[in-house]
Structure 1
Amino acid sequence: MEIVGESGFCPSTGIYHSKWDGAALLPPPPAAALPSFLLSAGPPAKAAFVDAASGAALSYEGLRQRTAAAAAALRGLGVCRGDVVLVVSPNSLHFPVVVLGIMSVGAVFSTANFLNTREELQIQIRDSNPVVVVTTSELRPKLLGLVSGPLVLVPELLQLVAQEEAVAAAAAVEGTSPEEAAALMYSSGTTGKSKAVVCTHGNLIAMSCILRQVWLAAHGGDPGEDVYLCAVPLFHMFGFSMFVCGALAAGATVVVLRRYSLEGTLGAVAEHRITRLPAVPPMVNQLARSPHLAEKFDLSSLREVICSGAPLAGDHRDRFRRCFPRITLSQCYGLTETSGPITLCDGVAGKVHASIGRLVPSMEAKICDVRTRRPLPPEQIGELCVRGPPATALGIDDEGWLHTGDLCYIDGRGLVFLVDRIKELIKYKAYQVVPAELEEILSRHPDVADVAVIPHPSSEAGEIPVACVVRRDGSSISEDEIISFMAAKVAPYKKIRRVRFVDSIPRSPSGKILRRRLKEATLEGQRLEISPRL
């Protein structure tokens, strides 16, 4: 098999191979159940999770004991192997305990955004059919009457069984196979309805091993020495894969922030000597726009900010580099369907990374022409398709490839660059317009606080690009000014044809723009007169 340079590309197959494939893989875990694997990783006395506000810590041994307690309590509630248990909760020390406890009885954990409306929660509950819902006292009223089974509060669950009995209970189900379902996660639903994705124990163990291996190789030492700040939601795959799967497999410590705020994040970094901060683009943007606030905190321990969840605009990267020249800003990319990261920047030289990194170990990729499906060589844009052990069955074709729906290219160094979602391309006459490109340009305007570009139907052009703009405080910028600003910077077919001023841009917990909601609001609330500007 001939591989071309550092790109990892094989011309005869059209497949890109991970640069990590030649490295010695860590031994496969003996346990088929994810909890058994993760709970055997860290030193017993070491802190696994720390509450950012109170400083309360849960050691690896304490995590094992509380997981066993949660498992025993769930058995007492009648939860059986294969049952779905839904967790609706903000971040807390209890979150990993509950989800590991659910998997320890052979049940399937599912999560929901605790900020969802009652109607949105009802849709997900009907789809997943949980036998038990675990939540908090604050969220209980929103869930009352939505489930026929018990509605259990987190503290009550952990007190249902005496500690002595819990320790004696088996923490993992005998004979769990890697093919058994461990989690039922829901995708962001950026372009359509949120999809349920089944992740097996094997998928999640593979991802845990991959993260541990890359961190071990990239750090040149023990990744367990790192202290991570969990400021993103644990109910999302990004948070779960990083802080439960990856961090526990590496034997690291995770400091949990209950609710994100910029000041709370900076305070936690300073107080707990955080070394690595996984984040989403709005957090990075907020950091870069608040250097004076950051100066009030000791951030000397922070070595890296890892951004994922959505593309990070170049302007935001540049601003971050100017504000925090000592801190590495890297990106990674993953999907719910791949149980977490597909690419990581670990080991990539430089302080600020425009790429989303290289393929993780055991991951293969193809860049396919969107029209012909022909595999493309380096530097050419097409759909990213991936194949590897963490990938779930959802969206996989007959040859084992998962079609991501994302436009990407891979350069001669094997670095992957994300362009945009295929479904989000705007078809203007005979041209394809990439919304992310226009958004990046518009975000540089001093009067624009946030922006999203969406298509709007046109009988003459097919679709036109429409900019949904959040004005910066005190600005009175007009539609004509924005259109003129863009007209000087892009080709004629890429011009913004109309502008809608909005109060905010709806985003998923991972920072992705929810264009579907903006499109619906545009179609329902406003008829756009577009013909004069075509």
Structure 2
Amino acid sequence: MDMEMETDMHLAAGYCAATGVYRSRYPPQFAAVTASSFPDYIFPRLLFPDRVARPAFIDASTGAALSFGELRELSIGTARALSALGLRRGHVALLLSPNSLHFPTLSLAVLSLGAVLSSANPLLTPDELAQQARDSEPFLVLTTGDLAPKLCSLPDVVKRVLIEQLLTDVVKDDGPEQATDLPASNIGRDDPALLFYSSGTTGRSKGVVSTHGNVLAMAASLERKWGTARAGDGGRGRDKQQDDDVYGCVLPLFHMFGFSSFVLGTAALGATTVVVPGRFSVQKMMAAVEQYGVTRLLAVPPMVVQMARAATGESSSLRLRQVVSSGAPLTREHIARFHRCFPGISLAQCYGLTESAGCVTMCDLYHDSVDGEGMAPSTEVEEDGVAAVTTAVEEERFSSGGSSVSIGRLLPDAEAKIVDPVSGEPLPPHRTGELWVRSPSVMLGYLKNEDATALALTAATAAEGGRAWLRTGDLCYVDSRGHVYVVDRMKELIKYKAYQVAPAELEDVLAAHPSVHDAAVVPYPDEEAGEIPVACVVKKPGSHHLQEDELLSFVQSKVAPYKKIRRVVFVDSIPRSPSGKILRLQLRSFLQGSVPEAEGRNSCK
């Protein structure tokens, strides 16, 4: 490739060879935001004349709706009630709740007081909740009557507030005329706003501290991305059909993907969100999509797989125009199957982390959606030479089985580097290395964990604009059109139905069993779940009686359902490096021939 062609390719990719940085094709968005906190940003938007009476959230199970104006009134009224209970700026409020119409209300109420919102998976065991509470030290817990018994292991000093009673009292005692002003809190952009838990790049779950500035940046970025025209104007205009868009929410709101999409994104955009509460069911989801005219559905790969499996072959009655998937990569096979079942619905991917307060890449809606062959078509006119090089490189990757499904382009204000894991040097397009991202939405750090923060974030320097780079632990490359592709993960997390499962946590549980001498947990491919946790176990001498079912039950009793071991393979030893590190790649290769024999004994469903 000659120098002129290489320069053209770099420009098309948004790559600067001098700095090694890839930049978003969208103009900067965050610099224009003047609000000092997320409540300052969101509450005025809820009163815009064209949306104050529009439904903000609809409960698909009951048909109950909350308009944008009512969302504001109820959120401020709830903030006053929480203030009366003693919640103050800097306090942590733990929200333990399934998806509901009022999850956004409670979230906005906490944030408007300058308190820090933390969330927890309702599937966690009482001991797991207690462990998270010991780390986050909540002032109070907001939970439902059904989930309240799970708080039995929390210290008595932590207040329990039942959501049902709280909201009943707010509606009864705090009318709209009293809920016109926010309680004074003097919140700034550097104040902590969210404390969501993530396994990060390695190891145990850690508290991710996101500031109001981080949250503001993500809300503004999604508002810009989802609110731009679909007519190919490069993000310069508003979507003329935006008022027509209805978003479907089946993602858990306690997870950053769901929270950032619906509490931050659609709320800022002014789009209606249909919440489908309760245990996921593809039939229930599709019924809500049809009944409420959902046009854009956010999902994780197992949901996309189930949509295709349950397809009846007739989708003309649906208003659904797009499905956006994240949490784990979609395979080419699943993409092709989806397009065969839903030829009129585009399928796109996005990528983000808890540490980045949500998405950092997303396919250009309605233009860069992946097609039936798993490729992300370009929407831009390229020079013939650059296009030819791009096609040749990507066809070679595709035919060799490499990653070929784009996770989209960088969102507004996001920057990236592809860093050689060995040399540490930034890499140009079509070279694979670790993805580093930099954005005003990237976290402040991990709560009370300076070592983990230092591993995840580079030192911020004036030369780098004062912002740190987040090391994602994912091996990626960027093509000459700016599309990002995930090749593999450097980190050891298992992605079960888009949940993050840390092998180290399960290995500690297995080690506590009196008949286990050594254990290692590794992922194993599964069509529906993506990956399942499989344990390789060495029995202690004299423990020949130990059976697989006993270990499965032992682990299941101590962890949330999505974390449980799905299969056990007994081995003579666990391969380790001289330093004692488990050689997981060797185990994964070994399991390719060992696990199928156990398939009939243990279902992963």
- Note whether the superposition's TM-score is higher than 0.5: yes
Summarize the Cα distance change of 1:402–1:176 in structure 2 as closer, same or farther, 3 Å threshold.
same
Please, which of 71, 75, 87 is the counterpart of residue 67 of structure 1?
75
Aligned partner of 2:263 in structure 1 is 244
How far 1:312 moved relative to its partner?
A: 1.4
The C-alpha deviation readout for 1:84-125, integer Å capped at 9, x for no partner, is 000000000110000100011111110000011111111111
CA contact (8 A) 2:196 2:354 kept: yes
Which region of structure 1 is more displaced relative to structure 2, 185-194 or 384-393?
Answer: 185-194
Please, which of 254, 259, 263 is the counterpart of residue 273 of structure 2?
254
Aligned partner of 1:266 in structure 2 is 286
Which region of structure 1 is more displaced relative to structure 2, 455-464 or 144-153?
Answer: 455-464
Give 3-state SS (helix, strand or coil) of 1:499's partner: helix
Please, which of 13, 17, 20 is the counterpart of residue 23 of structure 2?
17
Unmatched segments (≥5 aa) in structure 2 = 1-6, 232-238, 377-404, 446-455, 461-467, 495-521, 537-573
Aligned partner of 1:120 in structure 2 is 128
Aligned partner of 1:376 in structure 2 is 427
Q: Is 1:78 aligned to residue 89 of structure 2?
A: no
One-letter code aligned to 2:276:
L
CA contact (8 A) 2:201 2:473 kept: no
Q: Is 1:408 aligned to residue 408 of structure 2?
A: no
CA contact (8 A) 1:369 1:375 kept: yes
Please, which of 138, 155, 170 is the counterpart of residue 181 of structure 2?
170
Aligned partner of 2:108 in structure 1 is 100
Summarize the Cα distance change of 1:7–1:231 in structure 2 as closer, same or farther, 3 Å threshold.
same
CA distance in 1, matches of 2:472, 2:535: 21
How far 1:504 moved relative to its partner?
A: 5.3
Please, which of 389, 398, 418 is the counterpart of residue 367 of structure 1?
418
How far 1:452 moved relative to its partner?
A: 4.6
RMSD: 2.8
Which region of structure 1 is more displaced relative to structure 2, 358-367 or 33-42?
Answer: 33-42
CA distance in 2, matches of 1:416, 1:455: 33
Which region of structure 1 is more displaced relative to structure 2, 194-203 or 146-155?
Answer: 146-155
Summarize the Cα distance change of 1:375–1:122 in structure 2 as closer, same or farther, 3 Å threshold.
same
Aligned partner of 1:226 in structure 2 is 245
The C-alpha deviation readout for 1:188-228, integer Å capped at 9, x for no partner, is 56852111001111101111111111122253514343100
One-letter code aligned to 2:65:
A
Please, which of 321, 335, 340 is the counterpart of residue 339 of structure 2?
321
CA distance in 2, matches of 1:279, 1:69: 32
% same residue:
43
Aligned partner of 2:459 in structure 1 is 398
Q: Is 1:187 aligned to residue 198 of structure 2?
A: yes
Aligned partner of 1:302 in structure 2 is 320
Summarize the Cα distance change of 1:165–1:190 in structure 2 as closer, same or farther, 3 Å threshold.
same
CA contact (8 A) 1:48 1:251 kept: yes
One-letter code aligned to 2:97:
S
One-letter code aligned to 1:15:
V
CA distance in 2, matches of 1:272, 1:24: 34
Aligned partner of 2:303 in structure 1 is 283
CA distance in 2, matches of 1:337, 1:504: 33
CA distance in 1, matches of 2:247, 2:89: 33
One-letter code aligned to 1:403:
R
The C-alpha deviation readout for 1:58-92, integer Å capped at 9, x for no partner, is 00110011001110110110111100000000000
Q: Is 1:155 aligned to residue 206 of structure 2?
A: no
The C-alpha deviation readout for 1:473-505, integer Å capped at 9, x for no partner, is xxxxxxxxxxxxxxxxxxxx8993532636455
CA distance in 1, matches of 2:136, 2:311: 44
One-letter code aligned to 1:139:
L
Aligned partner of 2:382 in structure 1 is none
Aligned partner of 1:8 in structure 2 is 14
CA distance in 2, matches of 1:142, 1:453: 25
CA distance in 1, matches of 2:152, 2:189: 35
CA contact (8 A) 1:455 1:463 kept: no
One-letter code aligned to 2:162:
L
One-letter code aligned to 1:133:
V
CA distance in 2, matches of 1:109, 1:462: 38
Aligned partner of 2:55 in structure 1 is 47
CA distance in 1, matches of 2:115, 2:576: 51
CA contact (8 A) 2:247 2:295 kept: yes
The C-alpha deviation readout for 1:351-399, integer Å capped at 9, x for no partner, is 5342000001111110001111111111111100011111112232114
CA contact (8 A) 2:370 2:406 kept: no
CA distance in 2, matches of 1:46, 1:318: 37
Aligned partner of 1:475 in structure 2 is none
How far 1:330 moved relative to its partner?
A: 0.3
Give 3-state SS (helix, strand or coil) of 1:321's partner: helix
Summarize the Cα distance change of 1:420–1:504 in structure 2 as closer, same or farther, 3 Å threshold.
farther
CA distance in 1, matches of 2:203, 2:533: 16
How far 1:462 moved relative to its partner?
A: 4.9
CA contact (8 A) 1:453 1:466 kept: no
CA contact (8 A) 1:356 1:416 kept: yes
Summarize the Cα distance change of 1:238–1:350 in structure 2 as closer, same or farther, 3 Å threshold.
closer
What does 1:210-225 correspond to in 2, within 5 Å?
Answer: 210-220=221-231, 221-222=239-240, 223-225=242-244
Aligned partner of 1:509 in structure 2 is none
CA distance in 1, matches of 2:125, 2:533: 26
Unmatched segments (≥5 aa) in structure 1 = 427-434, 468-492, 507-534
One-letter code aligned to 1:364:
E
CA contact (8 A) 2:416 2:435 kept: yes
CA contact (8 A) 1:39 1:63 kept: no
Summarize the Cα distance change of 1:417–1:464 in structure 2 as closer, same or farther, 3 Å threshold.
closer
Give 3-state SS (helix, strand or coil) of 1:54's partner: coil
CA contact (8 A) 1:72 1:166 kept: no
The C-alpha deviation readout for 1:317-336, integer Å capped at 9, x for no partner, is 11111111111010000011
CA contact (8 A) 2:130 2:153 kept: no
CA contact (8 A) 1:68 1:166 kept: no
